[in-house]
Chains A and B, each alone.
Chain A
């Protein structure tokens, strides 16, 4: 089959590799019909997260048709021929964490848990196509994928719903929704969201669903800011103002947003002195993460407010104003998305026509063009917001 492989920093290539096969009784094999490039894949593209190996298959946002199931998969839950969206987190369903709905913290699905334990103390769940530290599972930017614990994760999609409306249930829609839920929104709240990428776009719409009266979105890319306004947000272009914090103060009458969301993560941009030292340290490889947005979130948030962090961080940050966090009585909420909590309810919202997630798509291209699209997406060229790949399209013809 064809698969997008990580061959080194800023080196992606489409390779012909063996088809996946069942390796455990609870596995299924899925023929992928749609797969996407996620903003978090760019951290791997840019080489900022350790424990990738040359040849690793990328991708964690995919859906398709079940071709084969192992002997341990409950036929009542999943059968050959089912159309499914596959969540990016892999969960066993039976451990303490799964049973407490903390699906992304599953205790058993990371075969390399010891590596994650060295860095984080304890290991979160295995993920598709996202470093060996997080399980080393082959990803879904390919024609087929092996899905472990297939009786827990994959969500069956009823006939008649096109891929483009449901494929984002694999990650970014639930991730945006959980990020908004983590804002602890009370009726009438003001929520500030840093970043207007695809997760933030869903977070904006989810914040309104959860009762926010006002959402303020911050970015510098014009088409992304426009998309945020289309979703009902007010926007701040951080390139055009002296201080985002001053603008937020002014907009909220010196109170501050009730909650602040870091939908950017470890590759933040900014103008502060701390940003400059972050970049320098990253360049020297003495730390992994740039935390400019997290710093702003903490300073901007109103007293007693909530900071929600859906943006990906891999390791360590410094110069975080935790003193402000403590003295202003802030609450911090974060985590990889507990996918199985949100997939079904959000599918129902899509079925009821409350939201059509396909609004976020800017590019639909054949899988063969993935390597080029990584760069276009990273550099935000060609008004790129979200790339959906077709693993079966003829590259030359469709391009």
Chain B
């Protein structure tokens, strides 16, 4: 059996034996850590979160392709949600890994993502399907080093209770350093990243801003918490604030 087909099979079946062991180790270890952290006398959010991430990583690793899906009901007509998403330059407001999206017309666009140590990954994308107020799909163009597919569906919720927005994305990271960077951005926890992205999209529409506590005062933190914040810095982008300001200006104008 050629190594390539073996790799494919491993990817399909969830990995080699070593990967499977590693995966279960992470799952069980992470789960136990979370339970421990949540139940001890001085409950540790950081420990719980670390455990959760570890377990999550265990649950999602082992395939060569990253895939994620998230669905949120948003209290607006499909038109509002579609218009916000269709203006692709809005995406970096709520998708934290994106630095910018530039539309070049006729459905073509240039995407830039921010990687670890300020690396940048760029690719070109084209819209492959666009049904107004219903559905939008795009994919990276043939000549990009980075393969990605995305789609978002806008469906009127039963009883006219807003719109169910369902986004799906898929990535195949390239090899080499670029692949490592891509994996660090998208592969860390694709489902979680996607959920939080779509949650921010919902907040932007419903609340007209994205909720945050970053920058609020607090007393002295413990050494452990400070270290965790160093390792996993929060990264609210300034554009999240400015998006709220723009929406406030629009409200005042109307």
Query: What is A's interface to B at a CB cutoff of 8 Å?
Result: 1, 3, 5, 7-9, 13, 15, 17-21, 23-26, 47, 49-57, 70-72, 74, 92, 94-96, 99, 107-111, 113-115, 118, 126, 132-133, 135-138, 142, 146, 148-149, 285-288
Contact = CB atoms under 8 A, between A and B. Distances in A.
B174 interface: no
Interface of B: 37-46, 48-49, 52, 73, 75, 161-162, 192, 195-196, 199, 202-203, 206-222, 225, 241, 244-245, 247-249, 251
Contacts of A108: 202-203, 206-207, 211
A107 B207 CA distance: 9
B217 A109 contact: no
Contact of B39 (A19, A135, A136, A286): A286
Contacts of B249: 71
Given A24-B241, A25-B244, A96 B161 contact: yes
Given A7-B220, A72-B245, 20 more contacts: A9-B42, A17-B217, A19-B217, A21-B215, A23-B213, A24-B211, A25-B208, A47-B41, A50-B44, A53-B222, A54-B225, A55-B218, A96-B75, A107-B202, A109-B207, A114-B195, A135-B213, A138-B216, A285-B39, A286-B39
B209 A57 contact: no
A135 B213 CA distance: 8
Nearest to B234: A111
Nearest to A285: B39
Given A7-B219, A56-B218, A137-B216, A92 B206 contact: yes
B221 A55 contact: yes
A111 B211 contact: yes
A50 B211 contact: no
A216 to B, nearest CB: 36
Given A23-B216, A24-B212, A24-B244, A49 B251 contact: no
A138 B213 contact: yes
9 contacts: A5-B218, A5-B219, A13-B219, A26-B207, A55-B222, A96-B75, A111-B212, A135-B211, A285-B39
B180 to A, nearest CB: 26
B192 A114 contact: yes
Contact of A23 (B38, B192, B241, B248): B241
B218 A23 contact: no
Nearest to B214: A23
A72 B208 contact: yes
Q: Which of B43, B45, B162: most chain A Cβ within 10 A? A: B43
A278 B183 CA distance: 46
Contacts of A126: 211
Contacts of A115: 45, 48-49
A132 B216 contact: no
Contact of A95 (B40, B206, B214): B206
Nearest to B203: A108
Contacts of B46: 53
A99 B74 CA distance: 12
Given A57-B219, A135-B213, A136-B213, A50 B48 contact: yes
Nearest to A5: B219
A3 B219 contact: yes
A53 B45 CA distance: 7
Contacts of B213: 23, 111, 135-138
A3 B43 contact: no
